Amino acid sequence: MTTPFYGPDFDALEQFDPEIAGVLVSELARIRSGLQLIASENMSSPAVIAALGSTLTNKYAEGYPGRRYYGGCSEVDKAETLAIERCKALFDADHANVQPHSGASANQAVYGAFMQPGDTILSMALPMGGHLTHGTKVSFSGKWFNAVSYGVERESENIDYAEVERLAKEHRPKVILAGGSAIPRLIDFEFFRNLADEVGAIFWVDAAHFIGLVAGKAIPSPVPYADVVSFTTHKVLRGPRAGAIVCKEEHAKTIDKAVFPMMQGGPQMHSIAAKAVNFKECATPEYADYAKQVIANARQLATSLGEHGIRPTTGGTDTHLSLHDLQGIGVTGAEAEQRADAAGIVLNKNAIPFDPAKPNIASGIRVGSPSVTTQGMGTDEMKVIADLIHTAITQGDGDPEHPVAKQVRAGVSELVERFPAYPR
């Protein structure tokens, strides 16, 4: 019998296209055999995967429930309505749009809703923990809009709120954006709200990384403070690879028009159904417990790595991720990523604040706890994982056949056998 992790018609796929079928099998084996510490990844439930692999993928449904440009949308309307209502309830939001295909698509829609080409946005610089779509020159956001960037304090490595205030008053941006991809600490949403009101700006939060912790009531929510909140559904939230937006009622029509027809055409109804399933999962007490454990695990992992000389920036974390400076142990981020991967540990190189190295080399690594927490691991296991990471990146050489890589892989195997991903 096939499992839902391969899809309901895996046998037919295997007969028609054994090469792609093989990729599905080997990817599941990869997940099961290693430690997944990418902060922006997680493991969707069988229920979410089942919705993704459904016949809803066939339906073209431009528009919104009850207002489609195609016939035959009665059933997909039910799925999208459920997703919208569950999203609003989960985040106590006035309005939700569940159609964005990704976090970048959601962000593009926010730009489209509130800005014209050439307008100014104040956002966190990518090298300091921001995101590519927050005004980086190689992104549409940096090509179309005037991005003014704030950073972190050199000593604390936390957001430099004094700089944010100074830049906001100097440049009077159309939009002020909080959030990023490598921010370990909580963000002061009330400060940003008050500042946006003072300079007459829209306050936008990109909560892609931490929205799952908000859903689990483990950290404060940006929704009461922000005009608009964009996010992905596949990180801590543990849903399908996609995006969504919540906003205040006064911006509802503007956001909906920016998603469709401005930025997207037909929505992916199978993905929207999977989001509905995910939002229902996130409203359970079990998920709230999970979100709290994600933070506990991230804190322990950061502390334990720090004890090995792998310094956590900002001194630790309040969320699901920590960013670590490797300069003290004489290893680059690129070397650490390669050596860890050779030993069955998946993490990513990452720039640290004021990094002297190039981005493709980097002086740091970013580690996240969502996936291993999904597997059931706790703080004791985080101590073991820190030991394994330290051994792999300080004694290995990136060759999977190196004795140290084999030694670490044996430790990884022991963990994943006790805490399997997608148990057979």
pLDDT tens digits for 141-200? 999 999 999 999 999 999 999 999 999 999 999 999 999 999 999 999 999 999 999 999
Across the range 243-262, mean pLDDT stands at 98
- The catalytic position among 232, 319, 391, 394 is 232
Catalytic annotation, pick one of 193, 235, 299, 349: 235
- What pLDDT digit, counting tens, does each position of 299-336 carry? 999 999 999 999 999 999 999 999 999 999 999 999 99
Residue 366 annotated among the catalytic residues of the structure: no
pTM of the model: 0.96
- Tens-place pLDDT, residues 95-137: 999 999 999 999 999 999 999 999 999 999 999 999 999 999 9
347-389 tens-digit pLDDT: 999 999 999 999 999 999 999 999 999 999 999 999 999 999 9
Q: How far is the C-alpha of 417 from the C-alpha of 423, rounded, in Å?
A: 9
What local confidence, expressed as pLDDT, does residue 3 receive?
54
% of the chain with per-residue pLDDT over 90: 97
62 in catalytic set: yes
pLDDT of residue 11: 87
Judged against a pLDDT cut of 70, whether residue 266 lies above it is answered with yes
- What average pLDDT is seen over the chain? 96
Q: How far is CA 227 from the centre of its chain?
A: 21
Which parts are annotated binding residues? 126, 130-132, 249
The annotated binding site for (6S)-5,6,7,8-tetrahydrofolate is made up of 126, 130-132, 249
pLDDT tens-digit profile of 184-241?
Answer: 999 999 999 999 999 999 999 999 999 999 999 999 999 999 999 999 999 999 999 9
Side-chain-side CA neighbours of 9 within 13 Å: the count stands at 9
Question: Which one of 32, 241, 248, 257 is the catalytic residue?
Answer: 241
pLDDT value at position 116? 97
Active site residue 60: yes
Q: Are 215 and 237 in contact (CB under 8 A)?
A: yes
Domains of the chain, each with CATH number or no CATH: 53-283 (3.40.640.10), 288-418 (3.90.1150.10)
Position 76 scores a pLDDT of 98
Look at residue 8 and tell me whether its pLDDT is greater than 80.
no
* Distance (Å, whole) CA 295 – CA 276: 25
What backbone phi and psi angles, to 5 degrees, belong to 97?
A: -120, 120
Half-sphere exposure of residue 405, counting CA atoms within 13 Å on the CB side? 17
For 198-208, letters b (16+ CB in 10 Å) and e give ebebbbbbbbb
**Residue 393 has what pLDDT?**
98
Q: Residue 64 pLDDT more than 70? A: yes
Residue 424: the pLDDT is 77
The answer to whether residue 235 is catalytic is yes
The catalytically annotated residue of 160, 206, 256, 341 is 206
pLDDT at 7 > cutoff 90 = no
pLDDT band at 1 (very low <50, low <70, confident <90, very high): very low
* Per-residue confidence (pLDDT) for residue 10, from 0 to 100: 84
